[in-house]
Structure 1
Amino acid sequence: MLQALRVRDFRLLWTARSIAALGTGLLDVAVPAHVYAVTGSVLATGLTLAFRHLPALLLGPFAGVIADRWDRPRIMITTDLMHAMAISAVLLARTPETIWLIYAASLGQGTAAAIFRPAAQAHTPAVVGVGPLLSAANALSAFTTGVVGLSAPPIGGLLFAASGINAVIGAAIAASLLSATAVARTTTRSRAHGPTQKVLADLVQGLRHLRQAAATRALLATNSVYLLANAALTALLIPFGVTHLGGSVQVGYLLSALGLGFLLGAPISRRLVDHFPARTIISLSQALVAGAFFLMFNASSLPVALTAAVLLGVPGVTVLIAIHTWLQRATPKELLGRVSSAFVTVEAAASMVGAFAGPAMSELISLPLALNAACAVTVLSALVTLCLMPRGSQVLQGTEGRRSPDPAQGQEHPHAS
């Protein structure tokens, strides 16, 4: 997993993404807490998160065109600066009448993230190649995401409680600027073509590739089902912990156990992804996620639920890394931004539907039945993977049978014209 850090540009890229994720994570608790402190409204607080995730749903395809049309490091630098400018508006929101500035900031923050993510994902193969270092890079990124996801929100909450929203926003702005600086120091460039093609033509070209690439199209479908079920289960996790495990403290233990499993799974998943066909490892991991969820939500004691949560993290991160690595290896580099953004868009849509469907189902039937129904849908995603993905689809194979050179072995970095 650490081998990818031998590549200088990946070290800088990984540093930039880690710092950017830390800055964003600091806001996850602090900004909603600030909104609630100013307005006293649960609805106003929830709208903050809704505005933040909306751009990924609306701008996903266009973000892919941008990632494939312009130099990707410059895109990442620009979006880092956009993020810093957007969140600075929070500093001006001090009364209920000015709370709309936070909604505007959330839209700007979400827009920057929606554009940054496809560019960063598409740029990674240009930096490390599509050989074993790619899965190592993705595993390390997933591990770092887990660490940041566990630590940044509570740090942001503590900083807000101790020093107020100004300190949190200042730290997040500094993180964005540091991320932009790290990306600016890289030397690998990746751009598919100049800005002469029309946006519509680029979108059609990306859709045509998805229609023709059977394995990628199948992966998009099965990932949609999987993410919908996962979002429903996640939305029901806190009510389950409070009503069945004893309260909010037990929920905290459960979330920590999930994070621990995620961290343990990152280095393991890298080896699995490189040694097994994509169809096999993704479907098996999805089935294991369903089994771990079922065990956790039907546990009769907290220790059993915590054990299931740790076990859940390992196949959960394997699904994530396997899909990312498959896309980066199987997609032509000039289309990778658009294909990645299609997955980001579908992920946003599926997550929003699942987040609403899970609680709605629990109201219509009951919480235990809703949880087990979502587990069944997760099993269904594994079956969809087996049925739709072509047999023998290897992660190490690309649609054109290509393999980029490995920069860590003395090869030149691949540069797009």
Structure 2
Amino acid sequence: MRTEPRSERLAAAQRCCLAVRLGCGRAVEERPVFEALRILDFRLLWFTRSVSLLGTWLLVVAVPAHVFTLTGSLTATGLTLAAEFLPPLVLAALAGARADRVDRRHLMITADAARAATVLLLLLVRDPADVWLIYAVLTIEASATTVFRPAAQSHTPAVVGAGTALSSANALNATTDGTVRLLAAPLGGALYAWLGFPPLVAVNATTYAVSAAALLLTTRLPRPTTHAKAEPSPPGSAAAAGGVRHLRAALRQAPAVRTLLLVNTAFLGANASLSALLVPYGITVLGGPAQVGVVMSALGIGFLLGAPLTRALVDRAPPAHLLAGALTVTAAGYVLLFSAATLTVALPAAVVIGAAGSTFLSATQTTLQRATPNAVLGRTTALLLTGEAAATLLGALAGPAAAQALSPTWAAVLAAATTALTALAAALRLPRTAPIARPSGAS
């Protein structure tokens, strides 16, 4: 007699339980927030992501501060951002295609090892003549991160499935992001002032090494495959052309994915345009750098609040309603924040923006993972990351230009109008039926 694997028996039991509960009039089963953490491989993935993100954000303030300390140049300091954003624009498509053709786990381990070794080169920077090495290191590190992200994001559904554990996983990742953004950047700035640059570099390299070691403990999964008949992979450009054709065919069959890519890029462009204005607006209108720090903390708090909100809604609300609602609330928050003259108004607006933005980003990620075939999920994620990088760069240029030509408040109005139009596109073109809340492992 054939014995079914434990995972299949568990999935069957879960489907039976769900059917019984639906029959009793309960449309959605009870799901713990930490459901995904029951899966060992996801616990390891979540740990690697958290620890490497912490190390990266410790340097978000420290690297520009170190460059400015060495050179005294705003231009030299600003080039650190260019070094981080250019690799996703250039390499994301290639990294996504690679993630769909090889062992994603091995790709992540290789990227972490490359980041750990490269970051240590920052220890050689001692005077202004060495600043070029910082740009080189940041570019290589960002390139490795560009390889890591589509592999990690497309690997997650393979580990937890496309059901309720996926929304749990993305909510946990959003909580981690919010916590790290809230604590690590100011902590890194304080440690830089107290300990100096080398210890932070050593910590960052160590986090990447720990991440790689934890990934080695995860289960090696089969390489992503299509449902089509297997054929030998052609070499060189022929393989790339085939991958592009496969991606185009998948996108033609998934209009919701095309819409998600569009609305995500538009939202991030509008958000970047105002992010570039937040510091000068806070200094000139709200009272100074200390007030800017408080507003950023409020944004971080809102981002944290968005994680449980997403967890509660993403398996129940139709994507069209959830994403359009989050974008509409964000648009209102933009206008409120950049018309505020005091922290009394600015802080609640920042919390609202953080919560609604977090909800939008996490729900978009979950919907995209569910709607995209696994065989092209790496490339689809790469398209998302390419749009993110392009929108961030263009938004960072457009926001200050609009503020200078008009005013910061009118720049916020333009960004809010763009976000509202994006909400309309989401409402009209995304699915208007609630997703089926499948348990982890259900098919």
Q: TM-score, normalising length from structure 1?
A: 0.92
Aligned to 1:215: 256
- Aligned-pair distance for 1:337? 0.5
Match of 1:57 among 67, 78, 89: 89
Cα distance in 1 between the residues matched to 2:131 and 2:106: 32
Aligned to 1:388: 429
Match of 1:260 among 298, 301, 325: 301
Residue range with higher mean Cα deviation, 220-229 or 140-149: 220-229
Unaligned runs of 5+ in 1: 398-402
Aligned to 2:148: 116
User: Secondary structure at the residue paired with 1:199?
Assistant: helix
1:173-197 per-residue CA deviation (whole Å, 9 max, x = no partner) reads: 1000000011110115152149934
Cα distance in 1 between the residues matched to 2:181 and 2:64: 16
Cα distance in 2 between the residues matched to 1:376 and 1:106: 35
Aligned to 2:98: 66
Counterpart check, 1:30 vs 2:62:
yes
- Aligned-pair distance for 1:356? 0.5
User: Secondary structure at the residue paired with 2:100?
Assistant: helix
Cα distance in 1 between the residues matched to 2:310 and 2:428: 23
User: Secondary structure at the residue paired with 1:275?
Assistant: coil
1:15-414 equivalent positions in 2, closer than 5 A: 15-193=47-225, 196-197=233-234, 198-389=239-430, 391-392=431-432, 394-396=434-436, 406=440
CA contact (8 A) 2:167 2:366 kept: yes
CA contact (8 A) 2:52 2:208 kept: yes
- Aligned-pair distance for 1:395? 4.2
CA contact (8 A) 2:320 2:429 kept: no
- Aligned-pair distance for 1:57? 0.9
Cα distance in 2 between the residues matched to 1:211 and 1:360: 36
Query: Alignment length, in residue pairs?
Result: 402
Cα distance in 1 between the residues matched to 2:321 and 2:335: 21
Cα distance in 1 between the residues matched to 2:178 and 2:209: 22
CA contact (8 A) 1:235 1:359 kept: yes
- Aligned-pair distance for 1:63? 0.9
Matched residue type, 1:279 = A
Q: Which has the larger radius of gyration?
A: 2
Matched residue type, 1:283 = A
Aligned to 1:400: none
Cα distance in 2 between the residues matched to 1:179 and 1:250: 35
User: Secondary structure at the residue paired with 1:218?
Assistant: helix
Matched residue type, 1:237 = L
- Aligned-pair distance for 1:394? 4.4
- The verdict on how the C-alpha distance between 1:237 and 1:120 changes in structure 2, with shifts beyond 3 A counting, is same
Residue range with higher mean Cα deviation, 309-318 or 267-276: 309-318
Matched residue type, 1:167 = P
Residue range with higher mean Cα deviation, 246-255 or 188-197: 188-197
Matched residue type, 2:294 = Y
- Aligned-pair distance for 1:271? 1.4
Matched residue type, 1:343 = L
RMSD: 1.8
Counterpart check, 1:4 vs 2:4:
no
1:370-391 per-residue CA deviation (whole Å, 9 max, x = no partner) reads: 12211111111111212333x5
- Aligned-pair distance for 1:45? 0.9
Q: TM-score, normalising length from structure 2?
A: 0.87
Matched residue type, 2:402 = M
Cα distance in 2 between the residues matched to 1:395 and 1:74: 32
